[in-house]
Amino acid sequence: MLIYTHPACLQHDPGRAHAESPQRLHAVLDALRGLPQERMEWREAPAASRDQLAMAHTRRLLDAVLIEPLSFPHQLDADTVMSQGSAQAALLAVGAVLGAVDAICGEHPDTPARQAFCAVRPPGHHATMSTPMGFCLFNAVAVAARQAVLIHGMERVAIVDFDVHHGNGTQAIVEHDPRILYLSSHQLPLYPDSGGADERGVGNVFNAPLPAGADGEAFRRAWRETLLPELDRFQPQLILVSAGFDGHWLDPLAGLLLKEADYAWIARELLSAADQHCGGRLISTLEGGYSLSALGSSAAAYVEAQLSR
């Protein structure tokens, strides 16, 4: 498995009291370094280019993030704050996923690995085509899906999102593109108050909302009965994952009751689908997770389940 990260992702600092802190990435990296390393290849994330970002974002959003403001901290919305290092961190967060797509899906793949995990921040799945929001500056999975379709010629790319918050930005970017499937389980009602089961795009969007208090069995049932069958029907050539671990029962920002075993379970299910449909090509990137201990242990359980198959 490829592990993409970059120390500059630690330089995005929304403020001491902000939930999306650099300590989140430290927790994930420490946990991943505690796993057996013989099947992990660590790579430094490249930076995404403006042209690559433009595959999923408008000039308005690019300018909002990349044109340096007069002073920092710079508030983009009530939840989304930029520091001096934020723009570079965001470019690297997207570049990590693009690097993984190129390494694994290129005409001449530069690695025998077929899975990657991108340990980067800031997260991305709330960023829409034109608006940064919800701690997110650029939408890495949406840009990567467009890269797979437009540059690598793929006809069917699936985005899987199990973050506790609905990936409204990802859905909005891809919901009119039948080449890209979007599958999401999430708590509802909860920020951003989207992701109802009736939201279907052009038949390429499937949401399985869960109520507060839903446990691992409800989570697994939603995937087993509603979402994974759609993944099988789509027969993707690549699976991209918005891997948010804020559905854990310890997370302070939500109310699901998931445990590490549930993240290991979804990892095995997604890897099985990837093996069946797309030669094992499964690329995940870090989204949410705000209990440091739960984030580290959950990310480790998710990656370890793929390493130990």
- Is beta strand 180-187 parallel, antiparallel or unpaired with respect to 205-210? parallel
How much is the pLDDT for 26? 98
How much is the pLDDT for 308? 87
- Taking Cα atoms as reference points, which of 147, 215, 209, 224 lies closest to residue 179? 147
Instruction: Tell the residue number behind the tokens 């797509």, with chain if given.
Output: 101
| Mean pLDDT across 250-263 | 98
| Mean pLDDT across 268-280 | 98
| Mean pLDDT across 96-125 | 94
| Mean pLDDT across 74-84 | 95
Q: Are 188 and 164 in contact (CB under 8 A)?
A: no
Among the ranges given (107-121, 230-244, 286-300), the one the predictor scored with the smallest mean pLDDT: 107-121
| Mean pLDDT across 174-179 | 98
Given the residues 12, 125, 126, 165, the one annotated as active site? 126
Q: Is 74 a catalytic residue?
A: no
pLDDT, averaged across the chain:
97
Instruction: Quickly count: other Cβ atoms within 10 Å of residue 288's Cβ.
Output: 28
| DSSP per position, 47-67 | PPPHHHHTTT--HHHHHHHHS
CA distance 206 to 129: 20
How much is the pLDDT for 46? 98
In this prediction, residue 11 has a pLDDT band, given cuts at 50, 70 and 90, of: very high
Q: Are 118 and 285 in contact (CB under 8 A)?
A: yes
Query: What are the tens digits of pLDDT across the range 186-207?
Result: 999 999 999 999 999 999 999 9
How much is the pLDDT for 111? 87
Query: What are the tens digits of pLDDT across the range 138-168?
Result: 999 999 999 999 999 999 999 999 999 999 9
Total domains in the chain come to 1
**pLDDT at residue 309 greater than cutoff 80:** no
| Category of 213 on φ-ψ map: left (φ > 0), alpha (ψ -120 to 50) or beta | left
CATH number at residue 130: 3.40.800.20
pTM for this model (two decimals): 0.98
Residue 24: give the domain boundaries.
2-307
